[in-house]
Chains A and B, each alone.
Chain A
Amino acid sequence: DVQLVESGGGLVQPGGSLRLPCAASGFTFSSYWMHWVRQAPGKGLVWVSGINSDGSSTSYADSVKGRFTISRDNAKNTLYLQMSSLRAEDTAVYYCARDRSSAFDTWGQGTMVTVSS
């Protein structure tokens, strides 16, 4: 079965850093674009970042540009989101998702990130 499993969430102070891994299984990870999408409590989904299949091209929402870095290790079938200079408004459930035809066809269960002092 195709599966994505996020981890690494937790409580972090404003200005702090956190790295979220997303472990992929059940498909040829190195063949797919991958994304991070977040959802603040009680709010809608927000696309955060995407990366192409070999990691050579990345893109970011304006709200995280310069603070977040997406990367991947195709040998380990793992996607990452390095988050720094975290703000209260970054508090959200973070989902990784697989790309298919410029959509998100498989989702992980999400990991909660809370930015608070």
Chain B
Amino acid sequence: QTVVTQEPSLSVSPGGTVTLTCGLSSGSVSTSYYPSWYQQIPGQAPRTLIYSTKIRSSGVPDRFSGSILGNKAALTITGAQADDESDYHCVLYMGRGSWVFGGGTKLTVL
């Protein structure tokens, strides 16, 4: 069973930069996994930030960027703001019509 890994929690100072990662328990993440990222405030539906590794969804500020860093997908927030404090989820397309989410990262801005 493939497990998608994310940092359980991270913190960043206002105005700072933070990178969240999305990896595999076995193997490397590549663009072929079509990594995508979602922001979720507890109690609300997810909001799509990034798809196909690095394409920003409509209306998403350019301080959110996606990439492949080493063997993981990455979401970088540059110039963090207070309202970036949320849960962040990544998902990978595993092929054969199957997707697997990571466990999510709780980001604190302080």
Residues of A within 8 A of B (CB): 35, 37, 44-47, 50, 57-59, 61, 95, 100-110
What is the size category of the interface that chain B forms with chain A?
A: 20 to 34
Further pairs besides A50-B99, A59-B97: 10, Cβ < 8 Å: A45-B89, A45-B101, A50-B97, A58-B97, A59-B98, A102-B51, A103-B93, A104-B36, A108-B45, A109-B45
* CB of B104 closer than 8 Å to a CB of A: yes
How far does the alpha carbon of A59 sit from the alpha carbon of B100 in the complex, in Å?
A: 13
Measured between beta carbons, the chain B residues less than 8 angstroms from A95 are 45-46
For the residues of A in contact with B, the DSSP-based class is: strand
- Contact in complex: A104, B91 (CB < 8 Å): yes
- Contact in complex: B104, A44 (CB < 8 Å): yes
Query: What 7 pairs across the A-B complex have the smallest Cβ distances?
Result: A59-B97, A103-B51, A103-B36, A102-B34, A47-B99, A44-B104, A102-B93
Residue of A nearest to B34 (CB): A102
Measured between beta carbons, the chain A residues less than 8 angstroms from B96 are 59
Measured between beta carbons, the chain B residues less than 8 angstroms from A109 are 45
5 pairs across A/B with beta carbons < 8 Å?
A45-B46, A45-B101, A107-B47, A107-B48, A109-B45
Given contacts A102-B52, A104-B48, A105-B51, contact A46 B101 (CB under 8 A): yes
Interface residues of B in 54-71 (CB under 8 A from A): 55, 57
Produce 1/0 per residue, B84-110, CB < 8 A to A. Answer: 000001010100111111111000000
Max chain A C-beta neighbours (<10 A), residue from B55, B100, B101: B101
Given contacts A103-B52, A107-B46, contact A57 B97 (CB under 8 A): yes
Given contacts A44-B103, A47-B99, A59-B96, contact A103 B89 (CB under 8 A): no
- Contact in complex: A45, B104 (CB < 8 Å): yes
